[in-house]
Amino acid sequence: MKIKHTILAFTALLALGFAACKDDNPAPENPEELITSLILNFVDSANASNTTAARFEDPDGPGGSSPTTFDTIVLQPNKTYFASIILLDESKTPVDTISNEVAEEKDDHLFTFSSTAGISILITDLDNNNLPVGLSTKWKTGTAATGNTIIRLKHQPGIKTGDVNLGETDVEVDFFTVVQ
Amino acid sequence: MVKFIISVIALLLALGTLKSQTCNVQIKGMVTDSETAGKLEFAIVTIVETQKQAFTRTDGSFEFNNLCAGNYTLVCSHLGCKDTSFTIALTQNQTVNIVMPHKLNQLKTVDVKGDNNNEKAAGMAMVSVTQQQLIPLLGGSLGDIVKTVPGVTVLQTGATISKPVINGFSGNRIVLMNNGVRLEGQQWGGEHAPEIDPNISNVITVYYGAKAVRFGPDAIGGVITIDAAPLPYGKPFGGSANLIGYSNNRMGVASAQIESGIGTSWAWRVQGTYRKGANVFTPGYGLANTALREGDFSVALGYNSSKWKLEAYMSRFDTKIGIFKGAHIGNLTDLQQAINSPVPFFTTNAHTYSFNRPYQDVVHYTGKLNARYYANANNTFTLQYAVQSNRRAEFDRDKPLNDSLAALNRPEFLFNLTTHTVDGLYEYLGDKLKFTAGINAMQQSNVWQGRYFIPNFRAYNTGAFAIAEYMHKNFAYEAGLRYDVRFLEVFRNIKGKVISPNYRFQNPSFSLAVKHTGLIKGLQLGSWLGMAWRPPTVSELYSNGLHHGAAAFEIGDTSFTAEVAYNANSYIYYERKGIEFRALLHYTYFDNFINLEPVLPATLTIAGAFPTFKYKQVQAGFTSFNFSLSVDATKQLCLFTRNTLLWAYNYTSGQYLLTAPPQRFQFGARYEFADKKWLEKPYIEVIGSHTMHQYLVNPNADYASPPPAYTLLNIEMGFTAHIRNTHYTVSIAATNVLNTKYRDYNDRFRYYSDAMGRNISLKLHIPFGSTQY
């Protein structure tokens, strides 16, 4: 009798401890937060109506279908452009503008730029600690050239010093670039 | 074959019930020491057939009452003595006197030894690490303990996460039996360590091959069993505590157990372990965010009568491990940068015990009810139910960009895996024949939250097996057969629509073994053949996503079939006059081996290009050769060597398989000083181990080519203090004594940082109550 009670109590305890979850009702597989698109908008500093843009768009996120848009950056020689970056999550309805969140947490983020097409790129916006952010930039082109421009977004929570090597890479797009 | 087994079962059952049933016979006896002729208290006398145990009283006497007439094997064991066993034909009350040969100096560190109960079995290619050998190893992880066995290596993720590798097989190709319950954790990831506290154990055994049929079809690489001591029926209150401190990561481990019998019918045990470590230091720098915390406990309760043994067991394992920040990286560029920098980012000088993201938090519960019925001297029936719940949470380095999501501080990955198992077992033990048959049923379900990596699923597994062992003259034979069916139902939610594909896998598995003894005194020769299989796991079928911990894009294949392994093995074992030699040659051929291979091109995402790995089914062959030799050069000095060689080949690609452990060699010497009054077994041991450069694999097929060879020196010394019938063990051990800077091929952190530097530990083992060791 004593044994029976012990076993019964133990079984009850186990049953309580392992209340089952629902496995046939899975959560949707699309992630809550995703960056699908990067849009670079250029405005000629000498002529506000001379604009151009370059886009990278991968609406279903990493993996799955390949990116649908991957533009070449085409700029005119010996000009200065103001450039701004917009990041979107186009997998959501309505589309979520991720760059607004980057702007809100600018103390933790840093865009880095490097170009082999003879373009010098200067960051013009600063965070609360007077460190560069990179949502706004100034691009100075030289003579006609072709090359690549790599744009990276580094996530540097609590460790941002201006060092471009720190942190995890949230965005890295390598645009083919033509100055003509 | 099946017919034969059925007829054997029928015959045995008939024999079993025919046995005479006069069950009022008594065995009385006395245990004495062969050298001192003194009476031995606390020797354990076990009747193998009934598993009844008795402890000798202060005058060395013991007795068993209400035994049935029949043939019995009695085993007498006393710590410091060699076990003695003999058989008696019991027809009436009998008195036996047992003389125990005293061999205090026989104990070497971790030696390759046969388990006494199974010494006769043909499929005996196994290595046990028993209680006294375990004492100096306690405090470490399961991986740290089993890697002392030849043929066993570990797959590391930094210094704090390790999982065992047997002859090149790990993860889902090894079965871990935790106190009789098959561990159903989440072994599919390289950085997922087994959810087991080895401090619970009294004996850890590594089985290669033959016996594996009993534990499941998928024990391709082998089985590791972690067993607690039998519950202390009839024994007074006792227990022990282990206190361990480590210098490198300032880790402290406290572990204790208390146990007692309540009369001769009831017994209980409570055990707990707590460990807390700070940042790990390599010879040049400390690694930020590598602290850890772990708290485990278990409770066991048992009832024992002449016919029944009922036991309940419950354990909780809870670990939180900080992951080195420099190893949690983004894309291919980040990885290249990490590999190319000689000193990683995120080093530290601080010995801090706190850690932050990224980290893992794993909680594993096990509950077990086990009933064993001794029908008579030869026939035993066992029924066991177990439930396991595994909750694995992984937190990425960075919180989400969105503030409201970040504020929830949720894990990026969360898996809840629940498993129910029922096992039925029948055992027949005769003079020449031992027969075991059983059924296993399993139901498992997984629920995920966070970022998608593997889908929800439900799996059902049913299997039946039979193993017969037969001894004739100098030969022992063993044959095992098993059949399993696995159903798998997967649930996915794609854009709000739930789809649920089904799978069914089924296959037989078998093993055949033969052993010969007595060609030369002390020599054993053995061989076995086997076939095992493994259904593809859900991660192999369905992974599709970024594995941040590995900085890789992993892609499964839903068209996979089961993986089938055919193996052949031979061994030589020789033990006589202070010489012990063991050699094991093993070959496994795989049909449809599931392998994670790099593929081109890299997956292009907005976060850059990611190295991409696809699961592929290939034909593969694993050849390994393990050999060990120990020689008592003098009465005090023992020289030994242990070596593990492995060649793992992919026939499909014509190249050696990546991640197979490189060849390892180990040489050591142990000197045991003479006992002095209370000071027993003082020893010093020096071990040098050399790990070769993994020259077999294509160096360009990996992110970083395999690291160069390295040699490490370890020194350990210790003694036992015998004070008032209690034996306290003290040991000081230093690993990587020369503070050698190295990287290990099987350490996933080798891309980012050096391995752990010098680590000195102090261990105290304190028995109390009636526990003497």
Q: Kindly determine whether residue A7 and residue B334, on different chains, have CB atoms separated by under 8 Å.
A: no
ipTM of the complex: 0.78
- Mean pLDDT of all residues in B222-245: 90
Task: Tell whether omega for the bond before B344 is within 30 degrees of 0, i.e. cis.
Answer: no
B681 band by pLDDT with thresholds 50, 70 and 90: confident
- Secondary structure class of A153 (helix, strand, coil): strand
The predicted pLDDT at position B420 comes to 96
pLDDT of A122 above 80: yes
> Nearest 5 degrees, angle CA A24-CA A27-CA A29?
120
Q: Is B349 left (phi over 0), alpha (psi -120 to 50) or beta?
A: alpha
Q: Kindly determine whether residue A26 and residue B369, on different chains, have CB atoms separated by under 8 Å.
A: no
The predicted pLDDT at position B122 comes to 43
Residues B562 and B218: beta-carbon distance below 8 Å: no
Higher-scoring residue by pLDDT: A114, A3: A114
- Secondary structure class of B539 (helix, strand, coil): helix
Tell me which residues of chain B, numbers 276 to 315, contact chain A at a CB-CB cutoff of 8 Å.
Answer: 301, 303, 310, 312, 314
Closest CA to B448 of A176, A164, A47, A27: A27
Structure tokens given for B620: 């593969």
- Of A11, A29, A88, A174, which to mutate for an interface test with B (greatest number of B Cβ within 10 Å)? A29
pLDDT of B18 above 60: no
Q: Is B222 left (phi over 0), alpha (psi -120 to 50) or beta?
A: left
- Mean pLDDT of all residues in A13-41: 69
The predicted pLDDT at position B329 comes to 67
φ/ψ of residue A13, rounded to 5: -60, -45
Q: Is A134 left (phi over 0), alpha (psi -120 to 50) or beta?
A: left
The predicted pLDDT at position A115 comes to 92
Residue A25, class by beta-carbon neighbours within 10 Å (0-12 exposed, 13-18 middle, 19+ buried)?
Answer: exposed
Contacts of B400 in chain A (CB under 8 A): 32-33
Q: What residue of B is the nearest CA neighbor of A28?
A: B493
Least confident span in A161-165, B54-58, B130-134, B652-656 = B130-134
The predicted pLDDT at position A66 comes to 79
- Of A92, A98, A169, A176, which to mutate for an interface test with B (greatest number of B Cβ within 10 Å)? A169
If one counts every other C-beta atom within 10 angstroms of the C-beta of residue B600, the result is 6
Q: Which helix (H) or strand (E) holds B334?
A: helix B332-340
pLDDT of B671 above 90: yes
pLDDT of B745 above 50: yes
**Cα separation of B522 and B515, whole Å?**
13
Q: Kindly determine whether residue A24 and residue B491, on different chains, have CB atoms separated by under 8 Å.
A: yes
- Give the up-direction half-sphere exposure of residue A136: CA atoms within 13 A in the CB hemisphere: 9
pLDDT of B251 above 70: yes
C-alpha torsion angle, residues B186, B192, B198, B201 (rounded to 10) = 20
Q: Give every strand in the sheet of B52-55, ordered side by side.
A: B52-55, B44-47, B70-77, B84-90
- Mean pLDDT of all residues in A54-64: 84
**Cα separation of B743 and B751, whole Å?**
9
The predicted pLDDT at position B37 comes to 61
Contacts of A29 in chain B (CB under 8 A): 452, 455, 492-494
Contacts of A26 in chain B (CB under 8 A): 447-448, 455-456, 491-493, 498
CA B425 remoteness from chain centre: 22
pLDDT of A74 above 60: yes
Residue that is written with structure tokens 């991720």 in the block:
A98
pLDDT of A131 above 70: yes
Least confident span in B495-499, B684-688, B737-741 = B495-499
Q: How far is A173 from chain B (nearest CA, A)?
A: 6
pLDDT of A116 above 70: yes
The predicted pLDDT at position B548 comes to 65
The predicted pLDDT at position B274 comes to 95
Q: How far is A3 from chain B (nearest CA, A)?
A: 8
Q: What residue of B is the nearest CA neighbor of A87?
A: B606
**Cα separation of B167 and B171, whole Å?**
12
pLDDT of B119 above 70: no
Write down the H helix ranges in chain A.
2-17, 98-104
Q: For all residues of chain A together, what is the average pLDDT? A: 85
Least confident span in A11-25, B115-129, B344-358, B720-734 = B115-129
Contacts of A101 in chain B (CB under 8 A): 401-403
What pLDDT digit, counting tens, does each position of B54-74 carry? 777 767 788 888 788 777 778
Q: Give every strand in the sheet of B126-129, ordered side by side.
A: B126-129, B203-207, B222-227, B174-178, B181-182
Q: What residue of A is the nearest CA neighbor of B457?
A: A23
User: Over the range A53-85, which residues count as b (16 or more CB within 10 Å of their CB) and which as e?
Assistant: ebbbbbbebbbeeebeebeebebeeebebbbbb
What pLDDT digit, counting tens, does each position of B618-643 carry? 999 999 998 889 999 999 999 999 99
B420 contacts: CB under 8 Å, gap ≥ 6: B385, B386, B387, B442, B443, B444
Least confident span in A74-83, B108-117, B353-362 = B108-117
What pLDDT digit, counting tens, does each position of B709-722 carry? 999 999 999 999 99
The predicted pLDDT at position B515 comes to 87
What pLDDT digit, counting tens, does each position of B145-182 carry? 888 777 788 888 777 888 888 888 888 898 999 999 99
**Cα separation of B221 and B205, whole Å?**
14
- Mean pLDDT of all residues in B291-307: 93
- Mean pLDDT of all residues in B407-434: 89
- Of B401, B420, B446, which to mutate for an interface test with A (greatest number of A Cβ within 10 Å)? B401
Residues B27 and B90: beta-carbon distance below 8 Å: yes
pLDDT of B509 above 90: yes
Closest CA to B243 of B756, B767, B723, B773: B767
The predicted pLDDT at position B554 comes to 85
Residues in chain A: 180
φ/ψ of residue B416, rounded to 5: -120, 115
